[in-house]
Amino acid sequence: MAESPRIYTAALIVIGDEILSGRTHDKNIAQIASWLGVQGIRLKEVRVVADDEAAIIAAVNALRTVHDYLFTTGGIGPTHDDITVDAVAAALGVGVEIHPEARAMLEAYYAPRGGLNEARLRMARVPAGAELIANRQSGAPGIRCGNVFLMAGVPHITAGMLDALTGTLEGGAVLLAETLGCWVQESEVADLLRETERAHAGCQIGSYPFFREGRAGANFVVRSTEPDGLAACVAALDAGLVALGRSVIAGGI
């Protein structure tokens, strides 16, 4: 038997009352999940917690030791409800310090915008020993403390921070995916899905039904780290659907 490849995993903590109140629709989960996939890292768990120090500390400590990487989004701005830096520092058991490079970046950014005040200087505070994550979108950087990455809450700023991290994190085999779409009720082909998955070790088949244009359909997503295994499983599923008299739309509907 070949040795199993090392799987790299990550967790994400979305911090913010605005998500838990339903006021803001989170966009960072899907964005970070997709980005991690490309890095060869699997997002295994997400927790959304309130702007509450105890809740953030508990989530950080539950997740940072069981995953290779932990990301947070939100709560690194200049106002009183931005408590992520303090909470992460407390979780890691370190103090909070002003990062000189972050201070310099903020000074340069705010020089033509009224200058650095106490609130803006809050954005230079980091857990002791942390490094910065560049942010070309605005003055405030993201923060890396070992395997914990503190990102912005605003999705396009997080996108810039992810861009700066691209290619810098060690990952493993990328989880490949291929989709077959079919105008069929998933409940008509449940046996085929189960048996095809069972016959192809290392492959998972997800079934995602929908109802559009008055018709029931489903997309079947086959996932594997092995390109040959993936292709064989997709071919078997395709042939199975055709044998049941269904036409298959490669790439999904």
Our finding on whether 120 is near a second copy (CB under 8 A) is yes
Our finding on whether 33 is near a second copy (CB under 8 A) is yes
Phi, psi of 214 (to 5 degrees): 75, 10
Measured at the CA of 78, the angle between CA 74 and CA 83, to 5 degrees, comes to 50
Q: Is the dihedral of CA 170, 227, 201, 37 positive or negative?
A: positive
Report the residue from 43, 57, 102, 145 that binds a second copy according to the rule CB under 8 A. Answer: 43
Our finding on whether 48 is near a second copy (CB under 8 A) is yes
Our finding on whether 56 is near a second copy (CB under 8 A) is no
What is the largest distance, in Å, between two alpha-carbon atoms of the chain? 70
Between 129 and 156, name the residue whose CB sits nearer to a second copy: 156
Report the residue from 1, 2, 3, 23 that binds a second copy according to the rule CB under 8 A. Answer: 23
CB-CB contact of 125 with 84 (8 Å): no
Within 8 A by CB and 6+ apart from 220, the residues are: 179, 180, 181, 182, 193, 205, 206, 207, 208, 237
Nearest of 128, 172, 166, 160 to residue 146 by alpha carbon:
128
Report the residue from 7, 17, 53, 61 that binds a second copy according to the rule CB under 8 A. Answer: 17
Phi, psi of 194 (to 5 degrees): -60, -45
- Tell the smallest beta-carbon distance from residue 90 to a second copy (Å): 19
Identify which range of 75-83, 84-92, 97-105, 227-235 contacts a second copy by CB under 8 A: 75-83
Give 152's Cβ-side CA count (13 Å radius): 23
- Tell the smallest beta-carbon distance from residue 129 to a second copy (Å): 25
Using CB under 8 A as the binding rule, the residues of this chain from 190 to 249 that contact a second copy are 190-191, 193-194, 197, 204-211, 221, 223
Residues near a second copy (CB under 8 A) are 14, 17-27, 29-37, 42-51, 55, 77-81, 110, 113-114, 117-120, 122-123, 138, 154, 175, 177, 185-188, 190-191, 193-194, 197, 204-211, 221, 223
